[in-house]
Amino acid sequence: MKGKTQQKQQVDLLISHALVVTMDKAFRVIEDGGIAIKDDAIAGVGTTQEISMTFDAREVLDAKGKLIIPGLINTHTHSPMTIYRGFADDLPLKEWLYEHVFPIEAHFTNPENVRAGTRLAIAEMLLSGTTTFNDMYYYMDEMARVVDQVGIRAILSEAVINFPAPNAPTPDEGLTVIEKLYHDWQGHPLVRIGVAAHTPYTVPPEVMKKAKALADRYGMLFSVHVAESRWEFDKIMKEYGASPLKHLHNLGILDKNMVSVHSVFLTDEDIQLLAQNGVGVAHNPQCNMKLASGAARIPEMLEAGVEVGIGTDGVASNNDLDLIDEIRTMAFLHKFNSNDPTVISARKAVEIATIGGARVLGMDHLVGSIEVGKKADLAILDMEKPHAHPLYNIYSLIVYSLHGADVEHVLVNGKFLVKNRQLLTLDLGRLYDKVERIAKKVREHARLLGVLNSH
């Protein structure tokens, strides 16, 4: 009997008496669970009794009546676009993009607006349990500074496109910007720089190949919107004689460092290509439904062994960043679309939003599950709510009953960023004023351009 003589390990924080959904390989769910956190990482996971016998901490959080899940992972978004929330709705994708979004972005994408939009997005993501996101936009240096300051985790994928971008007149200059970003942020604990090629129809083959070569040189993640619409599928088929995904395969783009965003229009061969090359898919069900793009063949992709994560896309086409809401939509969409209520179980939906997303982003060694040694990125939800009772199956409760608004505390890298639903590193009042001032200018300019959506 070692008993009281055994020295307890000193950690920074102990969380006790929670229901812990680990999403580890065994899908362990721990009732009356505890988590020990030291520095930025998880030092122990077990029952409250096991944890309290092994660890001692300066700070203890009694999480009775709470649920702890791994911080959620948004595999595709455009954070700065929060300033366009509700700006142009109820339109077809091509008209929405070319006649509303592109003209207004050309005028309003600047460092100041990118910072404000990013702050608003991060506030919304944290308050609904998201702790990691993969972003595709411009001015990633501005975004990186905001991410660093607020403390969330992000892959910031600077976008390459074949027309003058706000911060790079040509694609080649865009690639130079990315290379500098990579060096500037290398080794940062929360920020990783990625490369994004907008789409196969806005990025020509030679630029696509150069962008991928740059990503490969530094081991950066490479994100591309692929086969989002029927229009894109037909256009690429006509120009290159291949589906959008096969076209990228022909260019040598497909590998495990690529994220294929949307991937709605895939052939049987395309699904095999994704699986064979280890390409992850960022599935954005609400955006695909809102723009009536279609239902991505997610059940067939999962069947083929393709890694799938969930994304919100930008809020201009969603219009929120609540991932719990998004996984409910995902489950419903595929059940409805396939006439089969057994596709995408509740546990699979939670897996897609956590460890699945981490695998898509190549970050599953760091985040996505609650395991010793992983970073302490956690969402703690309040279960003392009518819609959280009774509890038969915790995965069912998360996907079909809970909301992002049930999130009470959030930790990223071992630090509280949300406590009792209060953001600790962002001033929301000031942020709302700033965003409303920007929106007023957007509205005025859109009226001038004649692109204010009057539907």
Helices (H), 379-427: 394-400
Distance (Å, rounded) from C-alpha 389 to C-alpha 384? Answer: 8
Residue 231's Cβ-side half-sphere holds a number of Cα atoms within 13 Å equal to 10
Residue nearest to Zn ion (CB): 313
Instruction: Work out the angle between the directed axes of helices 428-449 and 111-127 (0-180°, nearest 10).
Output: 130
| Residue pointed to by tokens 């439904």 | 289
CB of 313: closest distance to Zn ion in angstroms? 4
Shortest CB 232 distance to Zn ion, Å: 13
Closest distance to Zn ion from the beta carbon of 78 (Å): 6
> Least CB distance from residue 177 to Zn ion, whole Å?
19
> Which residue, 313 or 351, is less far from Zn ion as judged by CB?
313
Query: How is residue 325 written in tokens?
Result: 């809401």
Residue 158 or 313: the one with the smaller Cβ distance to Zn ion is 313
- My answer on whether omega of the bond before 319 falls inside 30° of 0, hence cis, is yes
Nearer to Zn ion, 40 or 313 (CB): 313
List CB contacts of 103: < 8 A, sequence separation 6 or more.
449, 451
Exposed / middle / buried, residue 273 (Cβ in 10 Å: 0-12, 13-18, 19+): buried
Sign of dihedral through CA atoms 309, 124, 375, 47? negative
**SS3 label, residue 340:** coil
Cα-to-chain-centroid distance, residue 142: 19
Closest CA to 312 of 335, 328, 336: 328
Minimum CB distance to Zn ion, residue 89 (Å) = 16
Q: How far is CA 146 from CA 64, 89, 112, 152, in A?
A: 33, 28, 11, 9
Rounded least distance, CB 136 to Zn ion, Å = 6
Contact status, residue 255 vs residue 283, Cβ threshold 8 Å: no
Q: Smaller CB distance to Zn ion: residue 313 or 326?
A: 313
Report the residue number, 232 or 313, with the smaller CB distance to Zn ion: 313
- The two three-digit tokens of residue 437, written as one number: 């001032």
Residues that bind Zn ion (CB under 5 A): 313
- Going by their DSSP bridges, the two strands 378-382 and 407-412 should be labelled as antiparallel
Nearer to Zn ion, 46 or 244 (CB): 244
* DSSP single-letter state for residue 168: B
- Closer of 167 and 317 to Zn ion (Cβ): 317
CB of residue 322 vs Zn ion: minimum separation in angstroms?
A: 17
Distance CA 255, CA 277 (A): 5
Phi and psi, residue 85, nearest 5°: -60, 120
* List of residues 6+ apart from 430 with CB closer than 8 A: none
Classified as helix, coil or strand, 85 is coil
Least Cβ distance, residue 140 to Zn ion (angstroms): 15
Taking the complex as a whole, how short is the minimal distance between the CB of residue 80 and Zn ion, in angstroms? 12
We find the least distance from the C-beta atom of residue 219 to Zn ion, in angstroms, to be 23
CA atoms of 223 and 376, how far apart (whole Å): 26
Closer residue to Zn ion, CB minimum distance, 313 or 364 = 313
By beta-carbon proximity to Zn ion, the closer residue of 108 and 416 is: 108
Of 326, 368, 274, which is closest to residue 23 (Cα–Cα)? 368
Q: Which is nearer to Zn ion, 81 or 150 (CB)?
A: 81
**Beta carbon nearer to Zn ion, 97 or 394:** 97
* Minimum distance of Zn ion from residue 282's CB (angstroms): 8
